[in-house]
Amino acid sequence: MKCPFCDSDQLIVTNSRPTKNEMEIWRRRKCLHCGGLLTTHEKIDLSYITIVKRSGKRVKYNRAKLYSGIYQAVAATKKIDRGTAGDISEKIMQLIEKEIVGLKLKEMSSERIFEVTTKVLKRDYPDSCLRYIAYFSKTKTFHDLALGLFSPLENPDTTPEDR
Ligand SMILES: [Zn+2]
């Protein structure tokens, strides 16, 4: 990281604390060269995780794809109004990612991600959990179901080689 004021890379962390459900780290840094102060919010980045699909294909963890399935399930849940679906989905994503971080794995099967997702949903949003399972149950078997997590049939940006 470089100082935005003078371009020096001599930055030190003067303070830090976890925020937002411990999924973000707030850090205050000071530039030793010009004395400039800056604050950063760093999200826990799970892109180091490799997802192993049923087909054996390995892909990087993709937050946007997981979020998209959850959002559609939440938005389709009767008691949840569409305006808050985004906030709720984000909260659910944070809970899921916290679980994933807790597993301390560098590689996960798509089934495992599906399990973690449904576990979190079942505990906190049972109605959305059913929606979520229904959303992916258009495919034939559980393995297809789990695989579908990373290539939902209705996702327009899904390319054939994702399947
Ligand atoms: Zn500086």
**13 alpha carbon – ligand 1 mean position (Å):** 13
| The pLDDT value given to residue 40 | 83
* Spatial CB neighbours of 128, under 8 Å, sequence gap ≥ 6: 70, 73, 74, 77, 80, 92, 121
**8 alpha carbon – ligand 1 mean position (Å):** 5
End-to-end C-alpha distance for the chain, whole angstroms: 38
User: Which residues have CB atoms below 5 A from the ion given as ligand 1?
Assistant: 3, 5-6, 8, 31, 33-34, 36
Joined tokens for residue 80: 């949840």
CA distance 61 to 110: 10
CA distance 117 to 124: 11
pLDDT in tens, the chain (163 residues): 889 999 999 999 988 877 755 567 788 999 999 999 998 877 777 888 999 988 899 999 988 888 888 998 898 888 777 678 888 898 898 889 988 988 989 999 988 999 999 999 999 888 888 888 887 766 445 555 555 554 444 444 444 444 4
| The pLDDT value given to residue 12 | 93
**42 alpha carbon – ligand 1 mean position (Å):** 20
Joined tokens for residue 31: 């530039």
